[in-house]
Structure 1
Protein backbone atom coordinates (compact mmCIF):
# COMPACT_ATOMS: atom_id res chain seq x y z
CA UNK A 1 0.00 0.00 0.00
CA UNK A 2 1.11 3.59 -0.62
CA UNK A 3 1.41 4.31 3.10
CA UNK A 4 4.33 1.87 3.29
CA UNK A 5 6.28 3.34 0.37
CA UNK A 6 9.43 5.42 0.77
CA UNK A 7 11.38 3.41 3.33
CA UNK A 8 14.43 2.39 1.26
CA UNK A 9 18.03 3.62 1.62
CA UNK A 10 17.61 6.42 -0.95
CA UNK A 11 14.52 7.68 0.86
CA UNK A 12 16.37 7.69 4.20
CA UNK A 13 19.35 9.47 2.64
CA UNK A 14 17.10 12.14 1.13
CA UNK A 15 15.22 12.64 4.42
CA UNK A 16 18.51 12.96 6.29
CA UNK A 17 19.73 15.59 3.83
CA UNK A 18 16.52 17.58 4.21
CA UNK A 19 16.79 17.51 8.01
CA UNK A 20 20.39 18.75 7.95
CA UNK A 21 19.34 21.93 6.19
CA UNK A 22 16.55 22.72 8.67
CA UNK A 23 18.33 24.61 11.43
CA UNK A 24 16.46 25.69 14.60
CA UNK A 25 16.20 29.33 13.52
CA UNK A 26 14.19 28.47 10.38
CA UNK A 27 11.83 25.90 11.93
CA UNK A 28 8.31 27.20 12.70
CA UNK A 29 7.29 27.50 16.32
CA UNK A 30 3.66 26.47 15.76
CA UNK A 31 2.38 24.18 13.00
CA UNK A 32 -1.31 23.51 12.35
CA UNK A 33 -2.23 20.31 10.51
CA UNK A 34 -5.46 19.60 8.66
CA UNK A 35 -5.50 15.82 8.19
CA UNK A 36 -7.69 15.12 5.19
CA UNK A 37 -8.40 12.22 2.84
CA UNK A 38 -8.89 9.40 5.35
CA UNK A 39 -12.20 8.31 3.84
CA UNK A 40 -10.83 8.33 0.29
CA UNK A 41 -7.82 6.33 1.49
CA UNK A 42 -10.10 3.68 3.01
CA UNK A 43 -12.23 3.52 -0.14
CA UNK A 44 -9.20 3.18 -2.44
CA UNK A 45 -7.76 0.49 -0.16
CA UNK A 46 -10.99 -1.51 -0.44
CA UNK A 47 -12.21 -1.20 3.15
CA UNK A 48 -15.99 -1.47 3.59
CA UNK A 49 -16.22 1.50 5.99
CA UNK A 50 -14.22 4.72 6.56
CA UNK A 51 -13.17 3.58 10.06
CA UNK A 52 -9.88 2.03 8.90
CA UNK A 53 -9.03 5.24 7.10
CA UNK A 54 -9.65 7.30 10.23
CA UNK A 55 -7.61 4.83 12.27
CA UNK A 56 -4.73 5.02 9.79
CA UNK A 57 -5.00 8.81 9.83
CA UNK A 58 -4.81 8.89 13.64
CA UNK A 59 -1.71 6.69 13.58
CA UNK A 60 -0.17 9.03 11.02
CA UNK A 61 -0.91 12.03 13.21
CA UNK A 62 0.95 10.41 16.10
CA UNK A 63 3.89 9.83 13.75
CA UNK A 64 3.60 13.41 12.47
CA UNK A 65 3.82 14.75 16.03
CA UNK A 66 7.03 12.81 16.60
CA UNK A 67 8.51 14.33 13.45
CA UNK A 68 7.58 17.79 14.76
CA UNK A 69 9.04 17.06 18.19
CA UNK A 70 12.30 15.78 16.71
CA UNK A 71 12.61 18.92 14.57
CA UNK A 72 12.10 21.27 17.54
CA UNK A 73 8.60 22.53 16.73
CA UNK A 74 7.02 23.56 20.03
CA UNK A 75 3.25 23.66 19.28
CA UNK A 76 1.13 21.55 16.92
CA UNK A 77 -2.62 21.95 16.37
CA UNK A 78 -4.45 18.97 14.84
CA UNK A 79 -7.88 19.40 13.23
CA UNK A 80 -9.55 16.11 14.14
CA UNK A 81 -13.30 16.82 14.15
CA UNK A 82 -15.15 19.95 13.15
CA UNK A 83 -18.41 21.25 14.52
CA UNK A 84 -19.95 20.58 11.10
CA UNK A 85 -18.75 16.95 11.17
CA UNK A 86 -20.80 16.35 14.31
CA UNK A 87 -23.97 17.25 12.45
CA UNK A 88 -23.26 15.89 8.98
CA UNK A 89 -21.34 12.62 9.35
CA UNK A 90 -23.10 9.25 9.22
CA UNK A 91 -23.88 8.10 12.76
CA UNK A 92 -21.88 4.85 12.45
CA UNK A 93 -18.86 6.64 10.99
CA UNK A 94 -19.10 9.34 13.65
CA UNK A 95 -19.23 6.78 16.47
CA UNK A 96 -16.09 5.09 15.11
CA UNK A 97 -14.35 8.43 14.69
CA UNK A 98 -15.14 9.54 18.25
CA UNK A 99 -13.72 6.28 19.59
CA UNK A 100 -10.55 6.68 17.50
CA UNK A 101 -10.08 10.27 18.73
CA UNK A 102 -10.45 9.14 22.33
CA UNK A 103 -7.80 6.45 21.80
CA UNK A 104 -5.48 8.99 20.19
CA UNK A 105 -5.89 11.45 23.07
CA UNK A 106 -5.04 8.75 25.61
CA UNK A 107 -1.99 7.70 23.60
CA UNK A 108 -0.68 11.24 23.23
CA UNK A 109 -1.16 11.92 26.94
CA UNK A 110 1.18 9.01 27.69
CA UNK A 111 4.03 10.51 25.66
CA UNK A 112 6.72 11.72 28.11
CA UNK A 113 6.74 15.51 28.40
CA UNK A 114 3.99 16.22 25.88
CA UNK A 115 1.14 18.52 26.84
CA UNK A 116 -2.33 17.85 25.40
CA UNK A 117 -5.03 20.51 25.19
CA UNK A 118 -8.56 20.22 23.86
CA UNK A 119 -9.75 23.15 21.74
CA UNK A 120 -13.42 23.16 20.82
CA UNK A 121 -16.86 23.11 22.41
CA UNK A 122 -16.89 20.29 24.93
CA UNK A 123 -20.64 20.68 25.51
CA UNK A 124 -21.34 19.37 22.01
CA UNK A 125 -19.34 16.18 22.47
CA UNK A 126 -20.42 12.87 24.07
CA UNK A 127 -19.62 12.71 27.78
CA UNK A 128 -17.25 9.77 27.37
CA UNK A 129 -15.08 11.65 24.90
CA UNK A 130 -15.22 14.85 26.94
CA UNK A 131 -14.02 12.88 29.96
CA UNK A 132 -11.08 11.42 28.03
CA UNK A 133 -10.07 14.81 26.62
CA UNK A 134 -10.33 16.47 30.04
CA UNK A 135 -8.24 13.74 31.66
CA UNK A 136 -5.57 14.03 28.95
CA UNK A 137 -5.46 17.79 29.42
CA UNK A 138 -5.35 17.69 33.20
CA UNK A 139 -2.76 14.91 33.45
CA UNK A 140 -0.35 16.69 31.09
CA UNK A 141 -0.94 20.29 32.21
CA UNK A 142 2.44 20.58 33.90
CA UNK A 143 4.45 19.23 30.99
CA UNK A 144 6.78 21.56 29.10
CA UNK A 145 7.49 19.51 25.97
CA UNK A 146 5.58 19.48 22.70
CA UNK A 147 2.22 21.23 23.13
CA UNK A 148 -0.52 19.42 21.19
CA UNK A 149 -3.85 21.11 20.55
CA UNK A 150 -6.59 18.64 19.64
CA UNK A 151 -9.33 20.48 17.75
CA UNK A 152 -12.39 18.32 18.40
CA UNK A 153 -15.92 19.66 17.97
CA UNK A 154 -14.18 22.77 16.71
CA UNK A 155 -15.30 25.62 14.49
CA UNK A 156 -13.36 28.82 13.86
CA UNK A 157 -16.41 31.05 13.62
CA UNK A 158 -17.85 29.54 16.78
CA UNK A 159 -14.55 30.10 18.57
CA UNK A 160 -14.63 33.81 17.73
CA UNK A 161 -18.25 34.04 18.92
CA UNK A 162 -17.31 32.30 22.18
CA UNK A 163 -14.37 34.68 22.65
CA UNK A 164 -16.56 37.77 22.19
CA UNK A 165 -19.19 36.36 24.55
CA UNK A 166 -16.48 35.76 27.15
CA UNK A 167 -15.22 39.33 26.81
CA UNK A 168 -18.73 40.77 27.15
CA UNK A 169 -19.47 38.62 30.20
CA UNK A 170 -16.23 39.65 31.93
CA UNK A 171 -16.82 43.32 31.12
CA UNK A 172 -20.38 43.15 32.44
CA UNK A 173 -19.21 41.43 35.63
CA UNK A 174 -16.95 44.40 36.33
CA UNK A 175 -19.78 46.87 35.76
CA UNK A 176 -18.59 48.26 32.46
CA UNK A 177 -20.92 49.71 29.84
CA UNK A 178 -21.29 48.58 26.22
CA UNK A 179 -19.97 51.97 25.08
CA UNK A 180 -16.79 51.47 27.12
CA UNK A 181 -16.37 47.97 25.73
CA UNK A 182 -16.85 49.15 22.16
CA UNK A 183 -14.15 51.78 22.63
CA UNK A 184 -11.66 49.49 24.35
CA UNK A 185 -12.04 46.25 22.35
CA UNK A 186 -8.84 45.22 20.53
CA UNK A 187 -7.71 42.28 18.39
CA UNK A 188 -5.28 41.34 21.17
CA UNK A 189 -8.15 41.14 23.64
CA UNK A 190 -10.11 38.81 21.38
CA UNK A 191 -6.99 36.67 20.88
CA UNK A 192 -6.59 36.25 24.62
CA UNK A 193 -10.12 34.80 24.87
CA UNK A 194 -9.80 32.25 22.08
CA UNK A 195 -9.47 28.54 22.88
CA UNK A 196 -5.74 28.96 22.16
CA UNK A 197 -5.38 32.09 24.31
CA UNK A 198 -1.80 32.62 25.43
CA UNK A 199 -0.32 30.64 22.53
CA UNK A 200 1.53 31.99 19.53
CA UNK A 201 -0.46 31.87 16.29
CA UNK A 202 0.46 29.12 13.80
CA UNK A 203 3.36 30.00 11.54
CA UNK A 204 2.48 27.25 9.08
CA UNK A 205 -0.79 25.49 8.20
CA UNK A 206 -0.48 22.18 6.33
CA UNK A 207 -3.36 20.33 4.66
CA UNK A 208 -3.21 16.90 3.05
CA UNK A 209 -5.16 15.36 0.12
CA UNK A 210 -4.73 18.28 -2.25
CA UNK A 211 -7.66 20.29 -0.88
CA UNK A 212 -6.93 24.03 -0.65
CA UNK A 213 -9.33 25.56 1.84
CA UNK A 214 -9.40 26.40 5.56
CA UNK A 215 -12.67 24.60 6.40
CA UNK A 216 -13.31 26.85 9.43
CA UNK A 217 -9.98 25.97 11.09
CA UNK A 218 -8.17 28.60 13.18
CA UNK A 219 -9.70 31.44 11.19
CA UNK A 220 -8.52 34.18 13.55
CA UNK A 221 -5.15 32.65 14.38
CA UNK A 222 -4.13 31.96 10.77
CA UNK A 223 -4.48 35.58 9.59
CA UNK A 224 -0.73 35.76 8.92
CA UNK A 225 0.08 32.06 8.61
CA UNK A 226 1.84 30.48 5.66
CA UNK A 227 -0.02 27.62 3.90
CA UNK A 228 1.28 24.42 2.38
CA UNK A 229 -0.87 21.85 0.57
CA UNK A 230 0.20 18.24 0.13
CA UNK A 231 -1.31 15.99 -2.55
CA UNK A 232 -0.93 12.81 -0.46
CA UNK A 233 -3.97 11.51 1.39
CA UNK A 234 -3.65 11.75 5.17
CA UNK A 235 -2.48 8.19 5.93
CA UNK A 236 0.00 8.32 3.02
CA UNK A 237 1.86 11.39 4.31
CA UNK A 238 5.61 10.69 4.44
CA UNK A 239 8.27 12.35 6.53
CA UNK A 240 9.86 13.77 3.37
CA UNK A 241 6.53 15.45 2.53
CA UNK A 242 6.61 17.07 5.97
CA UNK A 243 10.27 18.07 5.65
CA UNK A 244 9.62 19.61 2.24
CA UNK A 245 6.82 21.66 3.78
CA UNK A 246 9.18 22.96 6.46
CA UNK A 247 11.88 23.63 3.87
CA UNK A 248 9.38 25.56 1.76
CA UNK A 249 8.29 27.57 4.81
CA UNK A 250 11.92 28.40 5.64
CA UNK A 251 12.46 29.77 2.12
CA UNK A 252 9.53 32.19 2.22
CA UNK A 253 9.71 35.91 2.88
CA UNK A 254 6.98 36.41 5.46
CA UNK A 255 5.26 39.76 4.96
CA UNK A 256 2.59 39.56 7.68
CA UNK A 257 -0.24 41.10 5.71
CA UNK A 258 1.67 43.48 3.46
Structure 2
Protein backbone atom coordinates (compact mmCIF):
# COMPACT_ATOMS: atom_id res chain seq x y z
CA UNK A 1 0.00 0.00 0.00
CA UNK A 2 2.75 2.47 1.01
CA UNK A 3 4.78 1.51 -2.05
CA UNK A 4 1.85 2.29 -4.33
CA UNK A 5 1.35 5.68 -2.68
CA UNK A 6 5.06 6.51 -3.09
CA UNK A 7 5.02 5.50 -6.74
CA UNK A 8 1.92 7.56 -7.36
CA UNK A 9 3.49 10.67 -5.76
CA UNK A 10 6.62 10.22 -7.86
CA UNK A 11 4.50 10.09 -11.02
CA UNK A 12 2.83 13.40 -10.11
CA UNK A 13 6.04 15.09 -8.95
CA UNK A 14 6.45 18.47 -10.63
CA UNK A 15 9.55 18.92 -12.84
CA UNK A 16 12.58 20.90 -11.68
CA UNK A 17 12.42 23.35 -14.59
CA UNK A 18 16.06 24.07 -13.80
CA UNK A 19 17.08 25.66 -17.09
CA UNK A 20 13.91 27.70 -17.35
CA UNK A 21 14.45 28.96 -13.80
CA UNK A 22 18.13 29.71 -14.38
CA UNK A 23 17.67 31.58 -17.66
CA UNK A 24 14.69 33.53 -16.30
CA UNK A 25 16.75 34.50 -13.24
CA UNK A 26 19.63 35.76 -15.41
CA UNK A 27 17.25 37.84 -17.54
CA UNK A 28 15.55 39.35 -14.51
CA UNK A 29 18.79 40.03 -12.61
CA UNK A 30 20.23 41.72 -15.70
CA UNK A 31 17.25 44.08 -15.79
CA UNK A 32 17.30 44.74 -12.05
CA UNK A 33 21.03 45.41 -12.04
CA UNK A 34 20.72 47.89 -14.91
CA UNK A 35 18.14 49.73 -12.81
CA UNK A 36 20.37 49.60 -9.72
CA UNK A 37 23.29 50.81 -11.80
CA UNK A 38 21.23 53.81 -12.87
CA UNK A 39 20.33 54.49 -9.23
CA UNK A 40 24.03 54.34 -8.28
CA UNK A 41 24.70 57.20 -10.71
CA UNK A 42 22.41 59.37 -8.57
CA UNK A 43 22.60 57.95 -5.04
CA UNK A 44 26.06 57.63 -3.39
CA UNK A 45 25.60 53.99 -2.40
CA UNK A 46 27.63 50.98 -3.53
CA UNK A 47 25.16 48.15 -4.15
CA UNK A 48 28.02 45.76 -5.09
CA UNK A 49 26.21 44.40 -8.15
CA UNK A 50 27.59 40.86 -8.59
CA UNK A 51 26.86 39.96 -12.22
CA UNK A 52 28.32 42.92 -14.08
CA UNK A 53 31.31 43.79 -11.95
CA UNK A 54 34.96 43.64 -12.90
CA UNK A 55 38.03 44.62 -10.90
CA UNK A 56 41.49 45.48 -12.16
CA UNK A 57 44.41 46.12 -9.82
CA UNK A 58 47.75 47.82 -10.37
CA UNK A 59 50.75 47.43 -8.08
CA UNK A 60 51.97 50.73 -6.61
CA UNK A 61 55.27 51.36 -4.85
CA UNK A 62 54.93 54.99 -3.78
CA UNK A 63 52.38 57.46 -2.53
CA UNK A 64 50.95 58.69 0.79
CA UNK A 65 49.07 55.47 1.56
CA UNK A 66 52.10 53.29 0.73
CA UNK A 67 54.25 55.41 3.03
CA UNK A 68 51.67 55.20 5.79
CA UNK A 69 51.44 51.42 5.50
CA UNK A 70 55.22 51.00 5.48
CA UNK A 71 55.47 53.16 8.58
CA UNK A 72 52.56 51.77 10.59
CA UNK A 73 52.86 48.13 9.50
CA UNK A 74 56.58 47.27 9.27
CA UNK A 75 57.45 43.92 7.76
CA UNK A 76 58.89 41.07 9.81
CA UNK A 77 61.19 38.31 8.63
CA UNK A 78 59.77 36.03 5.90
CA UNK A 79 57.15 38.65 5.02
CA UNK A 80 56.59 40.43 1.72
CA UNK A 81 54.10 43.15 0.87
CA UNK A 82 52.02 43.98 -2.20
CA UNK A 83 50.33 47.39 -2.42
CA UNK A 84 47.64 47.86 -5.06
CA UNK A 85 45.24 50.48 -6.37
CA UNK A 86 42.17 48.67 -7.68
CA UNK A 87 39.42 49.94 -9.95
CA UNK A 88 36.02 48.27 -9.83
CA UNK A 89 33.72 48.85 -12.79
CA UNK A 90 30.04 48.13 -12.53
CA UNK A 91 27.18 48.31 -14.95
CA UNK A 92 26.51 51.64 -16.74
CA UNK A 93 30.12 52.70 -16.20
CA UNK A 94 30.01 53.21 -12.42
CA UNK A 95 33.60 53.14 -11.16
CA UNK A 96 34.99 52.88 -7.66
CA UNK A 97 38.61 52.81 -6.51
CA UNK A 98 40.16 51.29 -3.44
CA UNK A 99 43.62 50.78 -1.99
CA UNK A 100 44.66 47.32 -0.84
CA UNK A 101 47.78 46.23 0.98
CA UNK A 102 48.55 42.54 1.43
CA UNK A 103 51.31 41.00 3.51
CA UNK A 104 52.33 37.45 2.61
CA UNK A 105 54.12 35.30 5.19
CA UNK A 106 56.14 32.37 3.90
CA UNK A 107 55.86 29.07 5.76
CA UNK A 108 59.27 27.99 7.04
CA UNK A 109 58.17 24.33 6.94
CA UNK A 110 57.41 24.49 3.23
CA UNK A 111 53.64 24.62 3.64
CA UNK A 112 51.22 27.12 2.17
CA UNK A 113 51.92 30.79 2.76
CA UNK A 114 49.50 32.85 4.83
CA UNK A 115 48.35 36.35 4.07
CA UNK A 116 46.67 39.33 5.67
CA UNK A 117 45.03 42.12 3.76
CA UNK A 118 43.51 45.53 4.46
CA UNK A 119 41.60 47.61 1.95
CA UNK A 120 39.94 51.00 2.02
CA UNK A 121 37.77 52.86 -0.47
CA UNK A 122 39.23 55.98 -2.08
CA UNK A 123 37.61 59.24 -3.07
CA UNK A 124 38.32 61.15 -6.29
CA UNK A 125 41.44 62.67 -4.73
CA UNK A 126 42.82 59.27 -3.71
CA UNK A 127 42.14 59.80 0.00
CA UNK A 128 40.58 57.07 2.21
CA UNK A 129 36.80 57.23 2.46
CA UNK A 130 35.27 56.90 5.90
CA UNK A 131 31.55 56.45 6.44
CA UNK A 132 28.66 54.02 6.27
CA UNK A 133 27.77 54.34 2.57
CA UNK A 134 29.59 51.19 1.52
CA UNK A 135 28.13 49.33 4.53
CA UNK A 136 24.51 50.21 3.79
CA UNK A 137 24.77 49.89 0.01
CA UNK A 138 24.84 46.06 -0.28
CA UNK A 139 22.04 45.71 2.29
CA UNK A 140 19.87 48.20 0.40
CA UNK A 141 20.72 46.47 -2.87
CA UNK A 142 19.70 42.97 -1.81
CA UNK A 143 16.48 44.30 -0.25
CA UNK A 144 15.57 46.21 -3.43
CA UNK A 145 16.18 43.09 -5.53
CA UNK A 146 14.00 41.00 -3.18
CA UNK A 147 11.31 43.68 -3.27
CA UNK A 148 11.37 43.82 -7.08
CA UNK A 149 11.12 40.04 -7.47
CA UNK A 150 8.28 39.78 -4.96
CA UNK A 151 6.32 42.69 -6.42
CA UNK A 152 6.56 41.31 -9.96
CA UNK A 153 5.76 37.73 -8.90
CA UNK A 154 2.64 38.39 -6.81
CA UNK A 155 -1.05 38.85 -7.55
CA UNK A 156 -0.84 37.19 -10.97
CA UNK A 157 2.12 39.19 -12.25
CA UNK A 158 5.33 37.75 -13.70
CA UNK A 159 8.81 39.07 -14.25
CA UNK A 160 9.94 39.45 -17.85
CA UNK A 161 12.24 36.45 -17.52
CA UNK A 162 9.42 34.23 -16.31
CA UNK A 163 7.17 35.41 -19.13
CA UNK A 164 9.79 34.61 -21.76
CA UNK A 165 10.48 31.17 -20.25
CA UNK A 166 6.76 30.47 -19.70
CA UNK A 167 6.87 29.85 -15.95
CA UNK A 168 5.19 31.48 -13.00
CA UNK A 169 5.12 31.37 -9.20
CA UNK A 170 1.91 29.98 -7.73
CA UNK A 171 0.73 28.69 -4.38
CA UNK A 172 0.44 24.95 -3.82
CA UNK A 173 -3.28 25.41 -4.49
CA UNK A 174 -2.43 26.82 -7.93
CA UNK A 175 -3.47 30.42 -7.20
CA UNK A 176 -1.27 33.53 -7.52
CA UNK A 177 0.48 34.39 -4.25
CA UNK A 178 -0.29 37.69 -2.58
CA UNK A 179 2.48 40.23 -2.02
CA UNK A 180 3.25 39.30 1.58
CA UNK A 181 3.73 35.63 0.75
CA UNK A 182 5.77 36.51 -2.32
CA UNK A 183 8.03 38.84 -0.31
CA UNK A 184 8.58 36.13 2.31
CA UNK A 185 9.48 33.70 -0.48
CA UNK A 186 12.03 36.06 -2.05
CA UNK A 187 13.64 36.94 1.28
CA UNK A 188 14.01 33.24 2.04
CA UNK A 189 15.31 32.57 -1.48
CA UNK A 190 17.99 35.21 -1.11
CA UNK A 191 18.69 34.45 2.56
CA UNK A 192 22.26 33.19 1.90
CA UNK A 193 23.02 36.40 0.01
CA UNK A 194 21.41 38.44 2.80
CA UNK A 195 23.50 36.53 5.36
CA UNK A 196 26.74 37.20 3.48
CA UNK A 197 25.95 40.90 3.16
CA UNK A 198 24.79 41.09 6.77
CA UNK A 199 27.97 39.53 8.15
CA UNK A 200 30.16 41.84 6.06
CA UNK A 201 28.16 44.86 7.19
CA UNK A 202 28.26 43.86 10.86
CA UNK A 203 32.02 43.30 10.73
CA UNK A 204 32.57 46.59 8.91
CA UNK A 205 30.37 48.49 11.38
CA UNK A 206 31.90 46.88 14.46
CA UNK A 207 35.49 47.57 13.44
CA UNK A 208 37.05 51.01 13.32
CA UNK A 209 36.38 53.07 10.23
CA UNK A 210 39.85 54.57 10.47
CA UNK A 211 42.37 53.20 8.00
CA UNK A 212 45.16 54.12 10.42
CA UNK A 213 43.64 51.98 13.16
CA UNK A 214 43.13 49.02 10.81
CA UNK A 215 46.74 48.88 9.67
CA UNK A 216 47.94 49.17 13.27
CA UNK A 217 45.78 46.28 14.49
CA UNK A 218 46.36 43.77 11.70
CA UNK A 219 50.13 43.09 12.14
CA UNK A 220 49.64 41.43 15.53
CA UNK A 221 46.67 39.41 14.29
CA UNK A 222 43.05 40.37 14.23
CA UNK A 223 40.53 37.86 15.57
CA UNK A 224 37.78 39.61 13.61
CA UNK A 225 39.40 38.63 10.32
CA UNK A 226 39.66 34.99 11.37
CA UNK A 227 36.05 34.93 12.50
CA UNK A 228 34.98 36.54 9.23
CA UNK A 229 36.76 33.87 7.19
CA UNK A 230 35.24 31.03 9.24
CA UNK A 231 31.76 32.52 8.96
CA UNK A 232 32.20 32.99 5.21
CA UNK A 233 33.14 29.32 4.77
CA UNK A 234 30.18 28.17 6.86
CA UNK A 235 27.78 30.42 4.95
CA UNK A 236 29.17 29.17 1.63
CA UNK A 237 28.42 25.57 2.61
CA UNK A 238 24.95 26.48 3.84
CA UNK A 239 24.27 28.42 0.63
CA UNK A 240 25.18 25.39 -1.49
CA UNK A 241 22.88 23.21 0.61
CA UNK A 242 20.06 25.77 0.47
CA UNK A 243 20.17 26.29 -3.29
CA UNK A 244 21.46 22.98 -4.68
CA UNK A 245 20.31 20.20 -2.34
CA UNK A 246 16.62 20.47 -3.32
CA UNK A 247 17.59 20.23 -6.99
CA UNK A 248 19.74 17.15 -6.36
CA UNK A 249 17.13 15.40 -4.22
CA UNK A 250 14.06 16.82 -5.90
CA UNK A 251 10.77 16.70 -4.01
CA UNK A 252 8.81 19.08 -6.21
CA UNK A 253 9.77 22.33 -4.43
CA UNK A 254 12.77 24.33 -3.32
CA UNK A 255 13.20 24.80 0.44
CA UNK A 256 11.91 28.37 0.30
CA UNK A 257 8.87 27.22 -1.67
CA UNK A 258 8.11 24.55 0.92
CA UNK A 259 8.29 27.13 3.72
CA UNK A 260 5.95 29.55 1.94
CA UNK A 261 3.56 27.12 0.30
CA UNK A 262 4.60 28.12 -3.21
CA UNK A 263 5.83 26.37 -6.36
CA UNK A 264 7.07 27.21 -9.85
CA UNK A 265 4.93 25.87 -12.68
CA UNK A 266 4.92 26.05 -16.47
CA UNK A 267 2.19 28.15 -18.02
**TM-score using structure 2 length:** 0.28
Question: In proportion to residue count, which structure has more strand?
Answer: 2
Q: Which has the higher contact order (CA 8 A, sep 6+)?
A: 1
Larger Rg: 2
**TM-score using structure 1 length:** 0.28
